Amino acid sequence: MEPLLHGWTGLKPQTDAWVKLQHDYVERASALWTKAMREASTSEAATPVKLADRRFANPAWAASPSAAFTAELYLLNAQTLQRMADQVQGDAKARARLRFAVQQFVDASAPSNFLAFNPEAQQLALQSGGESLARGMQMLLADLQRGHVSQTDESAFEVGRNVATTEGAVVFENEFFQLLEYKPLTAQVHQRPFLLVPPCINKFYILDLQPENSLIRYAVAQGHRTFVLSWRNPDEHCANWRWDDYVEQAVIRAIHEVQAISGQDKINALGFCVGGTLLSTALAVLAARGEQAAASLTLLTTLLDFSDNGVLDIFVDEAAVKLRDITIGEQSPRGPGLLKGQELATTFSFLRPNDLVWNYVVGNYLKGEAPPAFDLLYWNGDATNLPGPMYCWYLRHTYLNNELCRPGALQVCGESLDLGAIEAPVYIYGSREDHIVPWDAAYRSTQILKGEKRFVMGASGHIAGVINPPAKGKRSHWLPGSKALPADPQAWLAQAKEQPGSWWTDWSKWLAGHAGPLKTAPRQYGDRQHPVIEAAPGRYVRQKA
């Protein structure tokens, strides 16, 4: 571990703690070795091994003394390295980077990832006469052509056929986005329309996977006249697009088109992840221009205060942002470029490498087992590009400088930005196990926005926590125990009340309270100035990175 610290500025070993760890390691490793040698040199039966780690849960690991020893020694080594990284003294970000690097090394070096050490994969190869390895090689070659590790059977899905199937039409488009309106499922709809702004780093149909888990269909079924902003997947012709363009030409334009179609001055709006950051920015720009466009605002796993964002913080510093500026940003000598979608997807996957990388390496290539069809993972692999200038602005002014939440610190679309100027009630949601937008980071928005606020926390992660339809009866959520929103997120959690099932029902009641009276549902999409361009989900969402 000590040589690993060379080149990591601001880090130094904690000698006394490391000496204690060394003694502990030698003692435990010696006990493992002694046990293995005793069982190998005598007729004594091998002591059954129970390994809690799911990578070694197959009986083949316990049945083979050498495999069990290898797994136990690996787990001991992994634990020791992680404990050593935890004991290093120094700058907080440097320590976090070291812990992340050690975790990546530990996960990548697991014996389960290698055919020579994986008894389960070896058994399958023998039982199948080598067919499992042949299938694994075929899948490896196919993934090399795709440029990513397959997490699902991608041939099982097609956008518009069995994902993104809620009936609707494109009623407006420009070079940045298409505006989709959905067919009402109720005889009456609320007076105020509902606009969803999904993240531009993904495609909108995470909100419309299958009918039974579609947040879009759920909103339509609750009597909301529902619109969705579908982002264009940028290509080389879009490389000059900036953050201001996304705000002005996409989000603000979508708001104004929905207002025009519905005849309503105020709309209900929802932003998911960076879509929520863009939506909040757009509403603040409009507020600076004297327009309060939102009757209500819903923010799902959204960052507005970027002061502490968990593992993603370790990737961002001045050097990293400068490097992006001179490679794909406005400072690039070759001109702006694109952040390729697959690069971003790979980064997110390696935040949870055992679940999203090595699990599939072992299953696909070593065992020759094709991953099952899973709509969410199909969406996860349907990558989107980002224009370099837009991405670099976002990194510098949010993750690096945290200026978005400071009134007057930024000029966006020619306006001095103040998120506190948004005059709308806000529903803020965070997921308890979210590794991209930690729930307490999402909670910090309660201290920035000035309208009436409600914060709710759901179980699970960034996606599974959000996409949790009530009919499934899964997971749980935490509702506020009082109207108080203390600065400390843990103080809020201490008084929150856990409820079984989905948070959607609580949100639906809240949204209905801001949606206005019911009226007869429209019989056609758009209006005379917004005729149908094509059927939903439109062609923009079908564009591949």
Q: What is the CA radius of gyration of the chain?
A: 26
DSSP 309-342: -GGGGGG-SHHHHHHHHHHTSTT-TT---EE-HH
Task: Tell me the HSE value of 4 on the side-chain side, using a 13 A CA sphere.
Answer: 15
Cα–Cα distance for residue pair 471/53, rounded to 1 Å: 32
* SS3 category, 498: strand
Q: Write the CA distances from 512 to 60, 219, 271, 296, 506, integer angstroms.
A: 55, 10, 17, 10, 10
Q: What is the number of other CB atoms lying within 10 angstroms of the CB of residue 101? A: 14
Q: Virtual CA dihedral for 212, 218, 220, 221, nearest 10 degrees? A: 80
**Location of structure tokens 């506190």:** 420
Task: Tell me the HSE value of 20 on the side-chain side, using a 13 A CA sphere.
Answer: 8
Amino acid at position 524, single letter: Q
Nearest residue to 529 via CA among 325, 323, 259, 304: 259
Catalytic residue among 200, 238, 273, 413: 273
Residue 218 token pair: 């759920």
405 assigned to active site: no
Q: CB neighbours of 210 closer than 8 A, spacing ≥ 6?
A: 162, 163, 165, 375
- Max Cα-Cα span within the chain: 88
Nearest residue to 277 via CA among 257, 250, 238: 250
CA angle 290, 295, 298 (to 5 degrees): 115
Cα–Cα distance for residue pair 66/119, rounded to 1 Å: 10
Q: Residue 501: which region, alpha, beta or left (left: phi > 0; alpha: psi -120 to 50)?
A: left
Cα–Cα distance for residue pair 230/381, rounded to 1 Å: 17
Nearest residue to 360 via CA among 51, 55, 53: 55
* SS3 category, 111: helix
Q: Write the CA distances from 125 to 130, 278, 492, integer angstroms.
A: 5, 51, 53
**Location of structure tokens 């495999």:** 67
Amino acid at position 385, single letter: N
- Residues with a known catalytic role: 273
